[in-house]
């Protein structure tokens, strides 16, 4: 399926604690097969799953089995280690035809990055209307409403739906930096024209953003937070602080696949997925270095 990785890029590696943004679809799963991601590990981050269309089944090492649909949030906190799988296929959802959404990652701060693994599903996220736009807040606080989802640093994430021709003055936290990922329609953000799949960056200091829709309705995702000042090393699905931490996590995941008790203790096992776990790729033959802001 078509996946556009808008974060990280050479131009920007963080927006708040958000360190990763994948924007995928719309994908006709009857033609492509859809999303089928075998069990794989994570450390030191949260996965934030948000859909525009379709369904995805989440299975993880905690025993969670949770389908997600548009307007709902799946939030998995890796802590020191977890593994999970994701399936948006005809085998799981025979009536499904299209899959379309985003997955974001937040880097966990040093205080919680080695904590316990956790998973939560928010079936009905809070929302509000402003200047004709509908805003669904799935993380943090915006427009006076607050998502119940866990956040380990000050941050926000929301879907913005603007009618054609609308001008929306969106109040935001001036301490936050923000990104606006445009999914559909034509949008002007703070005076700059955007095209679908573009990611706009807005630095801290503004108390309000002006969003102007073009001749068609607009759908976009806003996310951001206080600038994340800790240095991280992000390799594959693993976030650490040093090269050696990443090497150790990779080795323990490979051990977990082989059934080694130490590896299984760290990452657990996924039950209910029909297939083997995803092996880690080889590490590059260099010392991994921290990501720069």
Provide the pLDDT for residue 10.
Answer: 87
Phi, psi of 114 (to 5 degrees): -105, 20
pLDDT at 46 exceeding the cut of 80: yes
Q: Are residues 71 and 38 in the same domain?
A: yes
CB burial of residue 9 (10 Å; 0-12, 13-18, 19+)? exposed
Identify the domain boundary among 228, 244, 277. Answer: 228
pLDDT tier at 58, thresholds 50, 70, 90: very high
Residues 157-173 have a mean pLDDT of 98
Q: Are residues 182 and 272 in the same domain?
A: no
Q: Are residues 120 and 239 in the same domain?
A: yes
52 contacts 82 by C-beta, under 8 angstroms: no
Q: Are residues 15 and 106 in the same domain?
A: yes
Q: Are residues 108 and 143 in the same domain?
A: no
pLDDT tier at 120, thresholds 50, 70, 90: very high
Q: Are residues 88 and 14 in the same domain?
A: yes
Identify the domain boundary among 228, 259, 285. Answer: 228
Q: To the nearest 10°, the Cα dihedral for 129, 68, 18, 195?
A: -60
Q: Are residues 100 and 24 in the same domain?
A: yes
Full domain range(s) for residue 180: 127-228
Residues 281-287 have a mean pLDDT of 96
pLDDT at 293 exceeding the cut of 80: no
Residues 154-166 have a mean pLDDT of 98
Q: Are residues 40 and 180 in the same domain?
A: no
Q: If you write DSSP's letter for every residue of 199-217 in order, what string do you get?
A: EEEE-TT-SEEEEEE-SS-
Residues 10-24 have a mean pLDDT of 96
Among the listed residues 101, 91, 102, the one whose alpha carbon sits nearest the alpha carbon of residue 33: 91
Provide the pLDDT for residue 2.
Answer: 87
Q: Are residues 138 and 155 in the same domain?
A: yes
Q: Are residues 12 and 24 in the same domain?
A: yes
N-terminal to C-terminal alpha carbon distance within the chain? 30
User: Which DSSP symbol is given to 172?
Assistant: -
Could you give the number of structural domains in the chain? 2
Provide the pLDDT for residue 3.
Answer: 92
Q: To the nearest 10°, the Cα dihedral for 247, 17, 150, 221?
A: -120
Among the listed residues 1, 50, 44, 41, the one whose alpha carbon sits nearest the alpha carbon of residue 21: 50
Q: Are residues 144 and 77 in the same domain?
A: no
Provide the pLDDT for residue 1.
Answer: 82
What's the CATH number where 11 sits? 2.60.120.10
Q: Are residues 112 and 239 in the same domain?
A: yes
Identify the domain boundary among 178, 198, 228. Answer: 228
């Amino acid at each position: 399926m078509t996946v556009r990785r808008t974060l990280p890029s050479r131009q920007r590696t963080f927006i708040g604690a958000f360190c990763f943004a994948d924007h995928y679809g719309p994908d006709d799963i009857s033609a492509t097969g859809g999303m089928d991601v075998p069990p794989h590990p994570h450390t030191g981050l949260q996965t934030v799953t948000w859909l525009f269309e379709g369904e995805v089944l989440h299975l993880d090492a905690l025993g969670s089995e949770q389908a997600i649909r548009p307007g709902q949030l799946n939030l998995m906190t890796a802590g020191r280690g977890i593994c999970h799988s994701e399936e948006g296929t005809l085998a799981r959802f025979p009536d499904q035809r299209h899959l379309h959404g985003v997955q974001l990652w937040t880097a966990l701060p040093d205080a919680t990055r080695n904590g316990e693994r956790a998973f939560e599903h928010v079936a009905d996220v809070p929302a509000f209307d402003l200047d004709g736009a509908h805003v669904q807040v799935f993380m943090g606080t915006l427009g006076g409403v607050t998502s119940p989802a866990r956040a380990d640093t000050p941050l926000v994430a929301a879907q913005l739906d603007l009618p054609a021709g609308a001008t929306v003055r969106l109040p935001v936290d001036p301490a936050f930096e923000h990104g606006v990922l445009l999914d559909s329609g034509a949008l002007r953000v703070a005076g700059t024209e955007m095209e679908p799949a573009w990611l706009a960056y807005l630095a801290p200091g503004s108390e309000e953003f002006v969003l102007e829709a073009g001749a068609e309705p607009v759908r976009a995702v806003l996310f951001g937070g206080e600038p994340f000042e800790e240095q991280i090393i992000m390799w594959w699905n693993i976030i650490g602080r040093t090269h050696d931490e990443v090497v150790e996590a990779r080795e323990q995941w490979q051990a977990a696949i082989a059934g080694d008790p130490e590896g299984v203790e760290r990452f657990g096992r996924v039950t209910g997925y029909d297939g083997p776990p995803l092996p880690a790729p080889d590490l590059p033959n260099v010392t991994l270095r921290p990501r720069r802001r």
